[in-house]
Amino acid sequence: MAGCVKVVFISFNVLCLMAGAAMFAGGMLIQFMDVVQNTLKTINNSITSTQIGGIGVGLIALGALVLLISFVGCCGAISDSRDLLGVYFVSLLLLFVGQIAVGIAAFVLGSQGVSQQIEMQLGLLVRGYGNNANEQAVVDFVQQYFECCGYNGTADYALYNPQTPTLSPNATTAPEVTTMPLTVTMPTMDNSTNNLTQNLTTAAGNMYLTGHWPESCCKRANGNYINTSLCTDNTLPISTLEMYLNTQGCTNVLADFMKSNLIIIGGAALGIAFVQVIAMITACCIRKEID
């Protein structure tokens, strides 16, 4: 009976080794082979190079982790090593706890709670943009990956100054911005004409975006920014900027993404956790049989 359990355990971990190797190899191909990236873009025209890169890095990291843990499990079972089986058990236990936490958060917090947490954390990072290199890198990644800007839009960078980024979050007033308001000169004939002139002038103020925003808000094509010079030019009307600038806030984009994937993420985490429990119980049984 013990021999059958060991065979099943080793076979299970060999399958995990193969799966881990496949994920690792797939991630490497996605990350470093243009042919694979172009194929993915052909399959899904909406996917960006940044998203493809994120998938590649994720597969490499996950594949390496699965390879390492499965290798330790196989070696421990084949060599009857209590130490290796103990390392295998602890590694799976840590993963199990983490995945259970993800599953519980997904089901308990719900999309509304997650959305609120995203808005709060992202808002703090955006307000402090330029003050910390690591936090800035997080915001840049989010804005590039999800093709958005700020947590509500470009206006969140009202205090951002690309010339002195580390001072911008603490600025007491917004940096001076050069704009091009549209003025309309019309002959004044009566009150209705005056009202028309005033309305057109007022409406023109909404045609321009004030302040500055980072380049990561700019639109990309094939992994490269379309035109950062025009994208960061706040003297251009919004209708022109929208060709180069992502004006939608990241909060709504992230909330929609989480809402559509929350149940899937939670269910997958709990399902994998169940398999890990079986593997941990089996490892304990084998370890117990070793003198």
Cα separation of 275 and 123, whole Å? 38
pLDDT, mean over the chain: 74
User: Structure tokens of 194?
Assistant: 């005056």
User: Which ranges constitute the DSSP H helices of 33-145?
Assistant: 34-43, 49-78, 82-127, 133-145
CA 28 to chain centre: 19
| Secondary structure tally for the chain: helices H, strands E | 9, 2
Looking at residues 122-145, what average pLDDT do you find?
Answer: 82
pLDDT at residue number 127: 80
Express each pLDDT in 204-220 by its tens digit: 445 778 778 988 999 98
Per-residue buried b or exposed e for 120-142, using 16+ beta carbons within 10 Å of the residue's own CB: eebbebbbbbbeeeeebeebeeb
Domain boundaries, the chain: 154-247
pTM: 0.48
Cα separation of 94 and 240, whole Å? 51
pLDDT at residue number 13: 87
Helix, strand, or coil (residue 218): strand
* Per-residue pLDDT at 184 exceeds 60: no
* Per-residue pLDDT at 100 exceeds 80: no
pLDDT at residue number 197: 33
* Per-residue pLDDT at 173 exceeds 70: no
Long-range pairs for 232-236 at CB < 8 Å and ≥24 separation?
Answer: 232/162, 234/177, 234/178, 234/179, 234/208, 234/209, 234/210, 235/178, 235/179, 235/180, 235/208, 236/208
pLDDT at residue number 194: 40
In Å, the largest CA–CA distance within the chain is 105
Instruction: Using the structure block, give the residue that is written with the tokens 């600038």.
Output: 245
pLDDT at residue number 245: 92
Amino acid at 202: T
pLDDT at residue number 289: 80
User: Structure tokens of 89?
Assistant: 């058990």
User: Structure tokens of 20?
Assistant: 């881990």
Express each pLDDT in 144-159 by its tens digit: 888 999 888 888 887 7
- Residue 122 confidence class, pLDDT cut points 50, 70, 90: confident
Q: How far is CA 185 from CA 198, 199, 203, 207, in A?
A: 10, 12, 14, 18
Q: Which residue, 156, 154, 164, 152, is CA-closest to 244?
A: 154
Q: Which residue, 69, 43, 40, is CA-closest to 52?
A: 40
Express each pLDDT in 30-63 by its tens digit: 888 887 777 777 666 666 777 777 788 888 888 8
Q: Which residue, 149, 165, 173, is CA-closest to 231?
A: 149
Number of residues that make up the chain? 291
- Residue 112 confidence class, pLDDT cut points 50, 70, 90: low
- Residue 105 confidence class, pLDDT cut points 50, 70, 90: low
Which are the contacts of 268, defined by CB distance < 8 A and separation ≥ 6? none
* Per-residue pLDDT at 230 exceeds 60: yes
pLDDT at residue number 47: 67
Which are the contacts of 173, defined by CB distance < 8 A and separation ≥ 6? none
pLDDT at residue number 175: 35
Looking at residues 16-22, what average pLDDT do you find?
Answer: 87
Phi, psi of 52 (to 5 degrees): -60, -40
Cα separation of 147 and 125, whole Å? 17
User: Which pairing describes strands 224-225 and 220-221: parallel, antiparallel, or unpaired?
Assistant: antiparallel
> Between these two residues, 237 and 47, which has the higher pLDDT value?
237
